[in-house]
Structure formats: C-alpha cells, structure tokens
Amino acid sequence: QYSPYYNSHHYNSPYLTSSNISPAAITAPLAYQHPEHPAMMANHSPESHTGKDLASSSSPLFIWDLDETIIIFHSLLTGTFSSRFGKDSSKAVSLGLWMEEMIFNLADSRLFFNDLEECDQVHIDDVASDDNGQDLSTYNFGSDGFQSPAGAGSLCLGSGVHGGVDWMRKLAFRYRRVKEVYNTYKNNVGGLLGSPKREEWLQLRREMEVLTDLWLTHALKALALINSRPNCVNVLVTTTQLIPALSKVLLYGLGSAFPIENIYSATKTGKESCFERVSQRFGRRAVYVVIGDGAEEETVAKKKNMPFWRVSCRADLEALSHALELDYL
C-alpha cells in the first residue's frame, strides 16, 4: 500500500502551482482549448466512420501507441525515463509502482481482469456475437459459474476461446459490462474510483505531471486538436492486454480522446494485424498517420506506407500539436 507514503508531503514541488496543474484541469476531459478550434467532445459513434466518410476528405486517421508515447509508465519502473531526462529515479520508480497498483486495482475491481486475463481479446466487441442481449441489471457475475472448477484459463489457451455456448455467453456478458463501465465513467473517473481513491489518484496524476514535465498534458493537447476536426479519428493500438489498457486509458484521463471501439490490443496478434483491422474498418483510401516511440509500430507503418511520427521526448509532442495547429497534418 503506497498511500501513507504519498500522503506525506516529501515531494511538495515548487513547480506544482495552481496556475499550471489543478485538479479541475486533470479531471476535465481534454481541457485544452485552442482559440480557433473550440473543444469538441467525440460524441459520435466511431462505427459511423466508414471508409467512404474518411476517404472523401483529406483528414487523416491517427493511430497512436500508448506507453511512452501518450503516457509515461513502464519507463518510470525501469528507470529509463529518469536516466534519460535527469529525474529522481527513486521518485520515478515509486510513482510508477503507485500507478501500477491503481491500474491493476481498477482492472480487477471493476473490469473483471481476474476473469478475463486468460481470455484476452483484441477488441471490446470481439465476443459480442455470443451475447444474447439479456438484461444484466440484476445479473450476479460472482455466482454465474464462469470461473469453473476446471479453471476457465484452460478454455482460453491457444489462439481462440474454446468454451461451450453457455460459457461463451458469460464471457460476452463480462465484456459488455466492461464497455458499459468505460462509457459511463470515461469522463468521470473520480466517480468510478470513489473516495478516498479519487483524491489519491488526483495526487498521483499531479505528481506524475510534475515529474514528466507535463508530458501527458502535451499529448492531450494533440489528441484534442485531432478530436476537434470534423473528420479526424484517434485510434489506439497498444501491446498492453485490453483490460489493463482500458484501465490505463481511464486513469490517465484519455477516455474522451478514445471511444472504446477505437482501442485495439496487440498482445495476442501483434501490431501489424491490428493495423490491418483498422484499415479494413476505415477503408484503404483513408489517410493514416502512425504516432509512436517503438520499432514495431514504425516497421509496420513503413511496410504499409503510412507516415510515422516518432515520439521520443516531450518536444516531439509539442511539434505534433504545432503541425496540427498549422494544418500541416
């Protein structure tokens, strides 16, 4: 448990003033607003973006990586962020561990990660065809026998899921509930966490922004600029398993940037397969831009002739926002 350590004020930074980071700014969905681009919440269904809609305009579709591109997480734990940018390494590791605990706590407590870890999917709707649409308002997930004595994990080994019809329906119910939780709370993560977790989360977010020189704030600015355009779409392709990825997206305040239908996990299939799914969904004629820090997304982008925007430091995110503001992208 990290909270007693963090609630003490060892790290009251002189840079943490109400003028640059406030709880309101952290909880407000995509609070950045450019004078010429009034902030627009993505309230349209992403499924309505057919290839034709996007192909008829020159607006690109942006495929984002998550870790070390939009958010700083693993590099805090491994020490690479602190060594690269001259930060306090013990502080970085402790913030990383604190965030890791929150990610898995949320995934386990609200997003069924205990049930779904072995039954990971690429996309939230991948098992929706097994869902009979039953009302789940009084459904008891704890006693429906999903975690069978034989061990549900064995049903999910290999490339697919091998349960019977009844078990597959229970799996689909869990993914439907995850989708409901995400859509209900994506702009109100504090409400999902409740007190005192909410206060702990806000403190963690503030301390991480100070340590990373407002990295996430700059990423959110670029995401908001893209969201403010009528025909532009943000898509996330991450190597994190889907459920922890959704937990990360919520905890880092990215829910309003990414409709859940636009989030793909490449854990099982790799990024190339996910890029293929995205281009099938939105059409071959759409313009795609890939934004990431890793070799895998860069290699796939080159192979598919998609422009690649490398993010290796905060300035790369600032340059991206600048290019978007000037309509270079």
Which positions are catalytic? 65, 67
* Angstrom distance (rounded) from CA 250 to CA 188: 9
| CA 172/CA 178 separation, integer angstroms | 10
* CA gap 67, 128 in Å, rounded: 27
Please tell me whether 67 is known to bind a ligand: yes
- Angle value at C-alpha 140, between 186 and 128, nearest 5 degrees: 55
Q: Are 253 and 205 in contact (CB under 8 A)?
A: yes
Cα 156 from Cα 162, distance rounded (Å): 6
3-state helix/strand/coil string of 23-76: HHHHHCCCCCCECCECCCCCCCCHHHCCHHHHHCCCCEEEEECCECCCECCHHH
- Rounded to whole angstroms, the Cα distance separating 54 from 59 reads 7
Please check if 65 is assigned to a binding site: yes
Binding residues for Mg(2+): 65, 67, 293
Binding residues: 65, 67, 293
